[in-house]
Amino acid sequence: MSDTANQLAVALHYDHAGAPRVVAKGKGAIGAKIIEVAKAHDIPIEENEVLAGALSNVELGDEIPAELYKAVAEVLVFVLRLSGRAR
């Protein structure tokens, strides 16, 4: 289990217009709360410490940078498969 004090979480929103945006991010208690809220709303969670670290440098509300498109696209495919919206 990961240490809650160092728990980093980044939430993305993608509405098919432009690139996904960072809509929440936090470490420690805030990161744990983001994960708790995601679980409560059945939002899929992908654990990827390296990607979360890179995304944590993006300002809230900003689109993800182009150099992270591939990594985030892989996460989106994972999420879509989990939700049954992609094979």
The whole-angstrom separation of Cα 53 and Cα 8 is: 8
* Percent of the chain's residues with pLDDT above 90: 64
The predicted pLDDT at position 2 comes to 47
- Residue 73 or 16, more confident: 73
Model pTM score: 0.83
Look at residue 1 and tell me whether its pLDDT is greater than 50. no
- For the chain, the domains span 4-82
Across the chain, mean pLDDT equals 89
DSSP 26: E
CA distance 23 to 4: 21
Protein fold of 4-82: name from scop (3.40.1690)
Q: What distances in angstroms separate CA 26 from CA 8, 14, 31, 47, one per listed residue?
A: 6, 19, 4, 14
Cβ-proximal residues to 6 (8 Å cutoff; 6+ apart), any chain: 27, 28
